[in-house]
Homo-oligomer: A and B are copies of this chain.
Amino acid sequence: MYQEYELIEKIARLFGTPEGLTLGIGDDCAILDPGRFDLVTTDTMVEGVHFDRTFSSPQDIGWRAIATSVSDIAAMGGGPGAFFLNLALGPNDDELFVDGLLEGIHEACEKLSPPNFEIAAGGGDLTSTHGPTVITVTVLGEASPAGPVTRSGALPGDRIVVLGPLGSAVAGLAILQGAFDVDPADYPTLVRAHRRPQPKIHAGALLGLYGVPSALIDVSDGLIGDLGHILRRSGVGASIEIHNIPCHEELSKLASEVGLDTLDYVLEGGDDYELVVVAPPSRMTKVWDLARRHDWDVYDIGEIRSASEGLRVLAADGQPLEREYSGYRHFA
């Protein structure tokens, strides 16, 4: 296994000094360029809870660590910059694992950086553990000149759209875990949604730049849970129309083959990192305009209502569904 200083040097070589930093890896602190970053997010992934080497390669795990954190910057309408990597490496983490992890991290930085932004390593901490591997990624970002987009600006009358299908990642993981008697190779999109989530980093930055959303969030806990965050923070309610919530055709195929209810997946399945955009109709036209130009999918799934209406999920006939939603995945 690498010595600590070797691994630090390897990471420093791989990324260079990120833009926006006066000083990166190698001192007591990283030094930020004055006024450059105004967003901070941090996420921890634990082996056996958030990832499983049976189902994900080291490269996949590295990719996912960056993707999930950078997604939070997109969910503020900002652009990502330096990241900090804290690795607690276990007894089975050999050089092959660490090399693969860094490869996946590097690939995610390259492929997920939107135009005019660069994701690169600014520092971190390397430690050992006797237990499962733990990866913490902290990302700094830049809010748009139009200001960061929070969860608390939704107003009654705003429309709610989502930029891609929901439920894919959780279905993909269930397939890998053998929850259904199907061949993972027949569901490449679902499996990939778990292994290589594709947060809408560019879309988040562009929506922030044009000051479009009144509220914005990425779906990490599931639509009900995450929309719930917006409703609570904004002090509003919402109605969403289930027949308009997009699910991937592979999820429909899986549903018909194994007899599951896609609703469970699209409403409560997290880890897709799709963006939920809330905006008044007057500004929502800009979303459709950007979508045409950048080839995004946009699905109009409902409307913000007054707080007294709560969160209502409407069937195709306009009647509210009677069901309980768990919303949170506690401590996962």
Contact = CB atoms under 8 A, between A and B. Distances in A.
A237 to B, nearest CB: 19
A221 B153 CA distance: 47
B3 A29 contact: no
Interface string A117-151: 00000111111111110101010110100001011
B44 A218 contact: no
A217 B49 contact: no
A87 B4 CA distance: 23
B29 A84 contact: no
A127 B26 contact: no
Interface string A1-44: 00111000000000000000011001111111111011111111
Please classify how large the interface on chain A is, using the bins under 10, 10 to 19, 20 to 34, 35 or more.
35 or more
Interface string A301-332: 00000000000000000000000000010111
Nearest to A216: B28
A115 interface: no
Given A29-B73, A29-B78, A125 B37 contact: no
State the oligomeric state as a number of copies.
2
Given A29-B73, A130-B132, A123 B331 contact: no
B125 A49 contact: no
A109 interface: no
Interface of A: 3-5, 22-23, 26-35, 37-46, 48-50, 72-73, 75-76, 78, 82, 84, 86-89, 122-132, 134, 136, 138, 140-141, 143, 148, 150-152, 216-218, 233, 328, 330-332
30 contacts: A23-B150, A26-B233, A27-B151, A27-B233, A28-B41, A28-B73, A28-B76, A29-B41, A29-B72, A29-B73, A29-B141, A31-B38, A31-B39, A31-B76, A32-B38, A40-B82, A40-B122, A40-B123, A40-B140, A42-B125, A46-B129, A46-B134, A48-B131, A49-B128, A84-B138, A86-B86, A86-B136, A89-B331, A126-B331, A138-B138
